[in-house]
Amino acid sequence: MTGKQSILRTVCSFSYTEELFALLDQKISEIEHAIAQTNDPDSEGLLDQAEYYVGLGFVAAQRLIVEVVSFSGLEKGSAFSIGPRHHPDVTDVSAINAAANYWKHEAEWWQELDKLSKRSEQTLEKVSLVSDSDHYHLSNLLYALCERQGVRVAYLLPGLNQWVDIIESKS
């Protein structure tokens, strides 16, 4: 590992992200337990609650991604176009970024879906392509990105680390 690579891994908030993912996954696990105990988790708001915590995980991952790109010296577009893919048209990092933006801005879109900006439409398209679902996009996207291991934001870490390895080799 070169000095620059070591600095990149040190400067970016990997340990904070891992810690936050563990906290979010604990909450998601509690919600999953509650889901298993009820006949109608949707009406009880449990699925929406899980989606909320998954969205927070994507935002934390987005923060880490932005840090890596910023400190690597690579252009954002270049950095987002490399790395693992679970859909031929969307890198995993680009999907994570779109999922974070989806979570942050979805409420703005509810009133005027037919008047979305081009950027918002692209965000929705990326999330939909990878999630392959009409409901609970973020949980389904996470499930797809994590090789269908389950809905845990910590399962994003191996793919993020693989992407950082690639970034380090290019910077």
- Parse the chain into domains and list their residue ranges: 3-170
> Taking the model in full, what pTM does it have?
0.90
pLDDT mean across residues, the chain? 88
User: For the chain, how big is the Rg over CA atoms in Å?
Assistant: 16
> Residues 12-60: pLDDT tens digits?
688 899 999 999 999 999 999 999 999 999 999 999 999 999 999 999 9
Is residue 119 exposed (0-12), middle (13-18) or buried (19+ Cβ within 10 Å)?
exposed
The pLDDT assigned to 158 comes to: 93
The pLDDT assigned to 58 comes to: 97
Burial 143-167 (b: 16+ CB within 10 A, else e): bbbbeeeebbbbbbbebbeebbeeb
Q: Which amino acid is at 35?
A: I
Helices 137-145 and 118-131 pack at an angle, to 10 degrees, of 60
How far, rounded to the nearest angstrom, does the alpha carbon of residue 15 sit from its chain's CA centroid?
17
Handedness of CA 105, 136, 149, 170 (dihedral sign): negative
> Residues 98-143: pLDDT tens digits?
999 999 988 777 776 677 788 888 888 888 888 888 889 999 999 9
Report how many helices (DSSP H) and strands (DSSP E) the chain contains, helices first.
8, 2
